[in-house]
Amino acid sequence: MPDGSEKLTGKARYSAGVLEYKKMGYWEPDYEPKDTDIISLFRITPQDGVDPIEAAAAVAGESSTATWTVVWTDRLTACEKYRAKAYRVDPVPNSPGQYFAYIAYDLDLFEPGSIANLTASIIGNVFGFKPLKALRLEDMRLPVAYIKTYNGPATGIVVERERLNCFGRPLLGATVKPKLGLSGRNYGRVVYEALKGGLDFTKDDENINSQPFMHWRDRFLYCMEAVNRASAATGEVKGTYLNVTAGTMEEMYKRAEFAKDLGSVIIMIDLVIGYTAIQSMANWARDNDMILHLHRAGHSTYTRQRTHGVSFRVIAKWMRLAGVDHIHAGTVVGKLEGDPATTKGFYDIMREEYNPQSLETGIFFDQHWASLNKMMPVASGGIHAGQMHQLIHYLGEDVVLQFGGGTIGHPQGIQAGAEANRVALEAMIFARNAGDDYLQNGPEILARAAKNCTPLKQALDVWKGVTFNYESTDAPDFVVTPTTS
Amino acid sequence: MKLRQGTFSFLPDLTDAEIHTQVQYCIDNGWAVSVEYTDDPHPRNTYWEMWGHPMFDNPDAAAVVFEVNECRKQFGDYYIRVIAFDSSHGWESIKLSFIVNRPKDEPGFHVSREEVKGRSMRYSIKSYATNKPEGRRY
């Protein structure tokens, strides 16, 4: 039975005028996506009275070849191939008025190795589209043929561990606080104390660049003095993420070169520098044996709301292509947004070679990573030693746990704070490996370790019971299949 | 100073029974465990001497603890570590590495600085012990 959404062909299709997108070929319910297609999953919220299928077709159209009216010049091209095809529209469980729309794009629509090109198509034009109240890019399936046009992370988790000589436990870090106002000399003091006390890394915050209170060269010089002193004091490889984010590429390259000349093992950039700049810095890092840390500054402006924007799982996929080695990905238990299941989905995208579809963690598609290196997730924001068992349970072993306040805010000072974190971590990993039910017995394991470590005892006393229990705004929408018992 | 390399260097030195629990964990994961020793603990000294090959196909943690003790008999004043290798695709590297023996005295490391152009510095870290030839350091 015709339902008014049939594709038109020939003269009917190309007569001048305005046609519904679904009739122009952007809705193909019988379409079988090819292995080489890029697939996007959008959550669409049509305006009242707008047919969801027409809305999905419009998104497909506007993110590929269409404009608002029929153009005869389509007929000079293999336009059937270039049209994105919405092929499936499902209501979102328990969310009236919202629909999941699956849209397939032919590989030829995209330039190899360019996140800028990919995003210009997929999110370039459609998010302000009037027939939609809201639109969210939930997930993407990236074909191996497309992934192979990127180098991915230059270092990756395994080589980072080999380079740092650090195995079998999460890495430990801290962001220097206060994040603004310290002079270079005072800033380096925090770095020295934290690294000597037992952390592997310290970190510039996202907005530490080159301000009146501290010129970037000063920061780099004092930080590297601190790194080398701490390395000698412990016999470990240490690092501090020197933030090279700046107003221009030229300036970023200049800062990165200086970090390299001083012997830093790692530099950092902010997400706000943009996809092209990130890819350029990833190439630079690849040429210079440098670990590249990405702070996801700004992401919550478009990742947090469930109905509009781009899910962080998509950003994570793009960043694995772009080639950063570290990326902030949530803590579950800390102060920032992070539903446990959704966060697990992010971590899996960063760390696995293959992601099977897993609706409960928000992963809609099977995704092969074609041996692209793995990204090290970074958990930062409102975490402390007393949560060590939960952090290891939720986040696993290949992660950087960043205790900023949880190191620097220790009553006996920064070294003591760092030592408390390291002892708590090692004790918990030891207990896990020894077969202890560490999640259940976490508090006792920590209390036992604190008997040999006064700083840990003090940390547990100060931060005992500090939690951030707020409902997450971003959680996966799926229906649990009822099981019969 | 106490050398902080390895997974458990902030805990009290491990007993043989504790070493056994960690080795068993590695074996249960299908990793090959091996013993290595050195008298050059520089943080970037990657290749410690091998006390035999990694013990592929060894199901028994006690055999590793035995080898640790054999190694201690000969190199009791060296650093000795236990390492577990995972040969799975996508990893093919070390999964766990922890120190099981230390010299009685750990003199630590010296930072040398060479002032270069501007205020830049070229740093180098040297173990005090490695001023002496190999085998006569601790």
The answer, yes or no, to whether residue A257 has pLDDT greater than 80, is yes
The predicted-structure confidence for A140-167, as pLDDT tens digits, reads as follows: 999 999 999 999 999 999 999 999 999 9
Q: What percent of chain A has pLDDT over 90?
A: 82
- Mean pLDDT over A109-114 rounds to 98
The DSSP secondary-structure symbol of A211 reads B
Per-residue model confidence (pLDDT) at position A255: 98
| Contact predicate B37/B78, CB 8 Å | yes
CB pairs under 8 A between A and B: 111
The answer, yes or no, to whether residue A485 has pLDDT greater than 50, is no
The answer, yes or no, to whether residue B133 has pLDDT greater than 80, is yes
For residue B53, the tally of other CB atoms under 10 A from its CB is 8
pLDDT band (50, 70, 90) for residue A480 = low
| Contact predicate A269/A241, CB 8 Å | no
Query: What distance in Å separates residue B77's CA from the closest CA in chain A?
Result: 17
pLDDT band (50, 70, 90) for residue B99 = very high
The predicted-structure confidence for A202-240, as pLDDT tens digits, reads as follows: 999 999 999 999 999 999 999 999 999 999 999 999 999
Which two tokens mark A436?
């202890």
For residue A31, the tally of other CB atoms under 10 A from its CB is 15
- Mean pLDDT over A281-296 rounds to 98
CA-angle at A377, arms to A461 and A351, nearest 5°: 130
The predicted-structure confidence for A32-79, as pLDDT tens digits, reads as follows: 999 999 999 999 999 999 999 999 999 999 999 988 788 889 889 989
The DSSP secondary-structure symbol of A76 reads G
Per-residue model confidence (pLDDT) at position A178: 92
Task: Judge whether A374 counts as a catalytic residue.
Answer: no
- Mean pLDDT over A319-331 rounds to 95
- Beta-carbon contacts of residue A186 (< 8 Å; ≥ 6 apart): none
Which residues in chain B touch residue A168, judged by CB atoms under 8 angstroms apart? 7, 84, 94-98
Q: What percent of chain A has pLDDT over 70?
A: 96
Q: How far apart are CA A10 and CA A177, in angstroms?
A: 66
Q: Which of A164-178, A345-359, A466-480 has the lowest mean pLDDT?
A: A466-480
Which two tokens mark A453?
């470590």
Amino acid (1-letter code) at residue A335: K
Q: How far apart are CA B35 and CA B47, in angstroms?
A: 12
CA distances from A464 to A419, A443, A449 (A): 17, 10, 15
Instruction: Return the biggest CA–CA distance within chain A.
Output: 84
Which residues in chain A touch residue B85, judged by CB atoms under 8 angstroms apart? none
- Mean pLDDT over A302-313 rounds to 95
Q: Could you tell me where the DSSP H helices lie in A381-475?
A: 388-395, 405-408, 414-433, 438-450, 454-463
Per-residue model confidence (pLDDT) at position B23: 98
Tell me what ipTM this predicted complex has. 0.97
Per-residue model confidence (pLDDT) at position A470: 66
The predicted-structure confidence for A401-460, as pLDDT tens digits, reads as follows: 999 888 999 999 999 999 999 999 999 999 999 999 999 999 999 999 999 999 999 999
pLDDT band (50, 70, 90) for residue A16 = confident
The answer, yes or no, to whether residue A360 has pLDDT greater than 60, is yes
Per-residue model confidence (pLDDT) at position A71: 87
The predicted-structure confidence for B47-57, as pLDDT tens digits, reads as follows: 999 999 999 99
CA-closest candidate to residue A83, choices A142, A168, A9: A9
Q: How far apart are CA A376 and CA A173, in angstroms?
A: 13
Task: Judge whether A295 counts as a catalytic residue.
Answer: yes
Query: What is the average pLDDT value for chain A, to the nearest integer?
Result: 93
| Strands of A304-430, DSSP E | 309-310, 326-328, 354-355, 367-368, 376-380, 400-402
Q: What is the pTM of this model?
A: 0.95
Of A133, A177, A254, A368, the catalytic one is A177
- Does B40 lie at the interface with A, CB-CB under 8 angstroms? no
The predicted-structure confidence for B3-38, as pLDDT tens digits, reads as follows: 999 999 999 999 999 999 999 999 999 999 999 999
Flag if A262 and B110 touch (Cβ within 8 Å). Answer: no
- Mean pLDDT over A254-258 rounds to 98
Mutation target vs A (from B4, B8, B10; most A CBs, 10 A cutoff): B10
- Mean pLDDT over A472-477 rounds to 75
Q: Which residue has the tokens 């008999």?
A: B73
Q: What percent of chain B has pLDDT over 70?
A: 100
pLDDT band (50, 70, 90) for residue A18 = confident
pLDDT band (50, 70, 90) for residue A15 = confident
